[in-house]
Amino acid sequence: MHPPFVVLDRAAKELRPVTEYLEDLALSDCSPLTCRSHAYGLLRWFRLLWILEVHWERATEADVAAMVGWLRSAPNPQRRRRTPGVPEPGR
């Protein structure tokens, strides 16, 4: 069984530990959209580690903090609501 999504490294090779995780996720009867979301999340994580030149098995709490900081500061157009009369998010 192969998951519907695969994460590749910079050399376009499959990241086998990620594939195994996505296989388990797919077998747990979750939505394909959940698998897709996890695959993209893991791709973001690995891209950050590649920029930081950190092997995934050696990632530290500081690397996680860098990811969280980036996620909090990155623009997200889905959070903007520009429709007149629609309340602001969280209200």
Residue 57 lies in a domain: yes
Cα-atom radius of gyration of the chain, to the nearest Å? 16
Residue 77 lies in a domain: no
Residue 4 lies in a domain: yes
Residue 47 lies in a domain: yes
Residue 29 lies in a domain: yes
Number of domains into which the chain is organized:
1
Q: By residue range, what is the domain housing residue 28?
A: 1-62
Estimate to the nearest angstrom the gap between the alpha carbon of 57 and the chain centroid.
17
pLDDT tens digits, 54-71: 999 999 999 999 999 988
Say if residue 30's pLDDT is above 90.
Answer: no
The overall average pLDDT reported for the chain is: 86
Residue 12 lies in a domain: yes
Residue 53 lies in a domain: yes
Task: Locate 75 and state its tokens.
Answer: 């623009």
Residue 90 lies in a domain: no
Separation CA 61–CA 11 (nearest Å): 26
pTM of the entire predicted model: 0.74
